A = this chain, B = another copy of it.
Amino acid sequence: MFQAKGEKHWVIPDGYIPEHSSGELTSHESVCVLNCSSEEALLRFTIFFEDREPMEDILVVIPGRRTKHIRTSSLMKEGMPIPVGVPYAIEVKSDIDVIVQYSRLDSTQAENALMSVMAYPVR
């Protein structure tokens, strides 16, 4: 049996899905999660905006001893995705300890731009 590691609560204030792509790669963001434990982790996402109510309780499962690099464009609430071209923020709560990193690839121009941060662990 492997133990859970990390934290249960993470925040990423700078979310943004670029509207355009060009060149070989598609603009996207990934929320990268590592679940070190033998058990499944149940994640609950809340998406915050500048000018409207949050999207709450988007669920994602991470199997035990696996990572998952979650495209934010795949997160849906009642069939609705996160809107593109809009500033937002991400809160992730997990039932067991996990570790969360956020990365963005922007290919608005043909050449790529990359950024990455560890999510902020709320204690």
By the criterion CB–CB under 8 Å, are B53 and A67 in contact?
Answer: no
- A110 CB–B CB distance under 8 Å: yes
- A77 CB–B CB distance under 8 Å: no
How far does the alpha carbon of A37 sit from the alpha carbon of B64 in the complex, in Å? Answer: 32
Residue numbers in B under 8 Å from A108 (CB-CB): 24-25, 112
- A59 CB–B CB distance under 8 Å: no
By the criterion CB–CB under 8 Å, are A14 and B32 in contact?
Answer: yes
Seen from chain A, the residues whose Cβ lies within 8 Å of a Cβ on chain B are: 5-6, 9, 11-16, 20, 23-25, 30, 32-34, 36, 48-51, 53-54, 65-69, 87-89, 91, 99-101, 103-106, 108-118, 120, 122
14 A-B pairs with C-beta separation under 8 A: A5-B9, A5-B122, A13-B33, A14-B116, A25-B109, A32-B87, A50-B66, A50-B68, A50-B69, A51-B66, A104-B116, A111-B113, A113-B114, A114-B115
